[in-house]
Structure 1
């Protein structure tokens, strides 16, 4: 169902009633600022949902309630600054992609992605990210690609990537990172690609470990 580029400003409860066999829903390039709790609850078969380029600012606990088949979710280019710690609880089959890029998120709170244990690709590119709380990436045990480019990260906690044992691809380029402690990358036993260019590195002897690690 393609509803993109229609200048839609609101979605009333019940608007998707009876569409239990729908597989893809395209709502990008509209003016949607709010999604009522349970709006998508009848969309039991939707695997792909695009809400990019709207005006969403908050992801509540019931935003995606009922979307048990969802595998790809694109929320890029909105105004999202607040994400409930249970916003994604119901999306246990979200496996292919979650994009939150180009939103003024600022920080990742503990357990923000709890329940997304199948997710493989997470993009947080250009979200004005300054810090990731302890357990910020908790539950992302199957994640293989994490994009954190074009942010304001300066210091990365030694426990930030704990339990991301399957992460293969990590982008940290174009941040404000000056140094990394060895403990930061230690949990990433599957990592094959690390992008850290365009950071203001303090190239002292304390960074020799990174050269050897590479």
Structure 2
């Protein structure tokens, strides 16, 4: 009995010692179920918005909400830190109202709203939009309301609005509008009497003479200069005539601007520059002629620009024929001038070629119609030398243009 009692006591003590460890190893049902539910919920959240009903992949913020009100489908993507427009395949049904307020969108690219043809209203206010490409709103034929206020837009053209024929409400205020020539078409559009709800309260931020004036009150006729203003003060050092409609620089246009250092005539309709059009600009350092309609620069135009260091030429339809040679020769004589954009746009066989390379190849290769075969017997027969025909040939050679003669050891090119 004593032995049995001792065994029972020992077993009881052993059981008491093992009980805490058993309790510690037992899984907690509440915590385990809660964790499983949490994991399942997390997986569901990850899957939200990834696949449409057809199972295709989606590229969009998954936390935008969709809801229906008065039978219209709304998509609410406000404050989602979006940097671009979500694709239309993101949503279960085509929305009629798209809310994109307070995001980080900076540019509206061409075709940005492809697939959103059913939209009636589009809210893009309070983003960082500074550029709307032409064709950005293509396809939005049913849109009646567009909100673009509180952004960073400086210019917008009427062409951008053409794809929205039913647009009745357009909000543009609180943008830093630069009321120059490129705003001409938009300003004329918002001033049409029937467009009374387009562009209300939008104001010019620049230029200074128009700052604070409403777009609906700006006279469109004063936005675009068609010629260089007269009476430029002598002490002016910077002139910016970009984004106007100047097509022709006439002699002595800048004669009074003797202290001028930089001149910007980019983004005009410039087709011709007279020989003395830049006369007197002896101290000019930078000249911007980019994005015009220049085919060549007339001989002598650049002769007064002794200290020029920057010359911008891109965006012009340069024609690579003999009329372009002056520009290349002048640049060779002024190696300190940093230039850009001198590319052939015509004729077809030289499109995309550097103008300098074209002139180099022009001087290197004799035109085919002037080439003569080396096996021509008239060239090797001594009896024909010093004949009237030979003398006539020498005279014709003297009258040939210098670029067709055999290169000499030394060559002097006089430009002025």
TM-score (norm 2): 0.31
Which of 228, 244, 248 is the matching residue for 1:103?
A: 244
The answer to whether the aligner puts 1:92 opposite 2:244 as a matched pair is: no
Question: Radius of gyration: which is bigger?
Answer: 2
Which of 91, 115, 119 is the matching residue for 2:256?
A: 115
Secondary structure of the equivalent of 1:82?
coil
Secondary structure of the equivalent of 1:115?
coil
Structure 1's unaligned 5+ residue stretches are 8-24, 34-53, 57-77
Q: 2 CA distance for matches of 1:32 and 1:138?
A: 35
Query: What is the number of residues matched between the two proteins?
Result: 146
Match of 1:131 in 2: 272
Match of 2:228 in 1: 83
Higher relative contact order (CA 8 A, sep 6+): 1
The answer to whether the aligner puts 1:200 opposite 2:345 as a matched pair is: yes
Q: Give the direction of change, closer, same or farther, for the CA distance of 1:141–1:32 in structure 2 (3 Å limit).
A: farther
Q: 2 CA distance for matches of 1:125 and 1:178?
A: 19
Q: Give the direction of change, closer, same or farther, for the CA distance of 1:142–1:193 in structure 2 (3 Å limit).
A: same
Q: Deviations over 1:122-172 (max 9, x none)?
A: 000011000001100011111000000000000211211111001100011
1:83 to partner: Cα distance: 3.4
Match of 2:209 in 1: 27
Secondary structure of the equivalent of 2:287?
strand
Structure 2's unaligned 5+ residue stretches are 1-175, 180-206, 363-416
Q: 1 CA distance for matches of 2:273 and 2:305?
A: 14
Q: 1 CA distance for matches of 2:335 and 2:342?
A: 20
TM-score (norm 1): 0.57
Higher helix proportion (structure 1 or 2): 2
